[in-house]
A and B are shown apart, each in its own frame.
Chain A
Amino acid sequence: MLRLFDFFAHAKSESVWMAHFCTGCCSLEMAAAMGPRYDWERYGYLPTPTPRQADVLIITGLVTKKILPALLRTYAQMPEPKYVLALGACAFDGGPYNDSLAVIKNPTEILPADAFVAGCPPRPEAIVAGLEEIKKKMKSGEPSAASQGGLWKEMEF
């Protein structure tokens, strides 16, 4: 029985679909990762237009106040198990927009991420490497960071 369970985790982790939702400029490098040179579909990644079929939500860089409710709503619409990948400096601490006060500087305190990818914007290889981290987590059946905490649980959106 245990073995069958492992099989599902393995199958899930080898076809990771992400919600097609862009909040910032890192989505440009995400597009490059989808492109022919880096071609992330080799690893089973695919953007899906609806969050209802997605396994991973990518915070593509900056998150403004205005888009945060939409981001959280998208996350809430995803089926379990669901994971979050944070791209770029903005998703970590505001990055180059740290001085700008229209931007949320700690989006991952609100929606905790399972993996971070450094860079502004991160290179496509780095994005794929970040997704591989998520893959590992999925394989081991570890619960996602956002399911264990984060301000999003207390927020209304």
Chain B
Amino acid sequence: MQDLRKALSAHEILSVEVYKTMWLKVRIDSHDLLAVAQTLKDEGFIAISTVSPTDFLEEDRMEMNYFFENYTTKRNCWLKCDIPRDIEACEIDSITPMFPGANWHEREAYSMFGVRFRGHPDLRPIIVSQDFYDKTPFRKDFDWDAHEANTVENIQQIVDAFKEEQEINEEHLDASSSEMILNWGPTHPASGPIRLKVHCDGEDIISIDPDIGFVWRALEHLVTKKDFVGAIVAVERLCFMDNINSMVGYCQAVEEIADVEITEFAKWMRVLLGEVSRISSHAMGMGGFYNAMGLHTVGMWNMDIREYFLDFLESYSGARIATAAIEPGGVRYGLQMNMLDELQKALDKFDATKDDIKTIFVNNPTMKVRAAKKGIITAKEVESFALCGVVARSSGVKIDVRIDEPYAAYAQVKMDYVVQKEGSAKDRLSTLFGELEQSIDIIKQAKRHIEAEIENGNFNPTKDHMVKVPKKLPKGEAISRVEWSRGEVLMHLVTDDKAKSPYRLKMKAPSFNHTMMLNKMLQGETLSDIPLIFGSLYICQGDLDR
């Protein structure tokens, strides 16, 4: 951290402070952005987590937030600068030429806030549908109701744009060759709601342009209409496969602003529930990988295991998936001891099946032949594109927020990075299974600890789960990171004075960066590799579009 401070002192820095020990919060003038970014890059801050503008309507400024991460030293830098809010002058230099991982994040900022990035190689709108082009839906003064009044015209615009796109494709493609543009999705069984525009020559892929936003619910805008507790409904719908950990991330940010410390019991419960949720997601992820290859057995087996873990969630919260179990101030419900019996059943089920899954599917020779050399991501690419989670660890990059910046009770949990070496599709499957086993181990640790402490009388499972968090929060901002099942989720929460609802919540979700890699990974491959590589990246459209 001292090195970074020293290196940055060469520039004109408006303010600098250490934030949460891991972060250096630096405010600069927007004209110095490129120079400072270069210094950061030289210091090893190669990954850019996200670019998040905040619109301050009353102060008439747009605040840009850049979150840089150093994957080696695990130190992070939070860069802030102001740019004019006026739509004509709302411009800043693009850091994409320097940090390729910023590409889509800058496009998102452009589509949502109308921030133009000078020197961006490909500044097209992303996520939003055609009716939002050249509009700024996330700005505070955007009139949603007026926009909504024309729903029929808006849909017509989307339809027209699609037809026009097909016509342009027809005109530009060489009719005498076998060149064509295929739409992979949104109705493809392996795709989910995403459309890949695959430019191919016969079977060989020339390039891929992902069209995303088919499940864009504007969650980041939706939370600003709800109170701090109500917002968890939107936050957990980031992706239903693993909803607990995204709520943990949001609640930590709220607690930080409210200056509330949750109880030790609630921290352990967050670990326990988070890992259960991770298992239910990873089980589906493994199934998705094999489904994409055309084998449904592992999906069925894992779905069976997953049901047992959902039984535990159901006994705890009353809902299988939409649990809303984490709330600012702790966890929503107390713990009855018979709930842990359900959990024990699930653990037994996993232990009884895991050897078979490992022998038959994870070490499957046919799968190895098919996937061992496909979709390789190097460790260098992981860093420059800020990939995280399973994908990053499969390439041998040792990052895991649970270890690097421990939250909840993870500091007391014994765990290590689950890594593979090559970063191929096969390695990603192995990592997934490795993490399943790791999560089981963590659950066992957490369960043992909770049971022992209840026995000792240190935890009161029916009273300790919540501490009071005030309904109105002071002015402030916080970031919180959690290791979600797919990777790091970064929540940037801004509140106003006496706030009842979030002023701005930026959710950085891992699938966004991973989808960015598709074009790079699939160039030169054949059409039959698309489902395999797409499935191995473990993408969920929920957190891709938000």
Contact = CB atoms under 8 A, between A and B. Distances in A.
Interface of A: 19-25, 27-29, 31-32, 34-37, 47, 49, 51, 62, 64-70, 74, 96-97, 99-104, 120-121, 123, 155-157
Contact of A67 (B154, B215, B240, B306): B215
Contacts of A64: 129, 213-217
B240 A28 contact: yes
Given A67-B186, A156-B156, A101 B218 contact: yes
B542 A69 contact: no
Contact of A31 (B187, B284, B304): B284
A69 B234 contact: no
B135 to A, nearest CB: 12
A155 B303 contact: no
| Residue in B152, B187, B214 with the greatest tally of chain A CB atoms within 10 Å | B187
A99 B226 contact: yes
11 contacts: A22-B192, A23-B215, A25-B542, A35-B307, A47-B189, A65-B154, A67-B186, A70-B186, A99-B222, A99-B226, A102-B137
B217 A103 contact: yes
Contacts of B299: 35
A101 B147 contact: yes
B374 interface: no
Nearest to A29: B321
Interface string B308-321: 00100000000011
For chain B, give the interface size range: 35 or more
Contacts of B189: 20, 47, 49
A69 B159 CA distance: 7
B300 interface: yes
B497 interface: no
Contacts of A31: 284, 303
Given A37-B307, A64-B129, A99-B222, 5 more contacts: A20-B189, A32-B307, A47-B189, A64-B214, A101-B218
B19 interface: no
Contacts of A68: 155, 158
Nearest to A60: B193
A74 B193 CA distance: 13
A127 to B, nearest CB: 12
B159 A156 contact: yes
A101 to B, nearest CB: 4
A23 B193 contact: yes
Contacts of A155: 152, 155
B381 interface: no
B147 A66 contact: no
A34 B291 CA distance: 13
Nearest to B188: A49
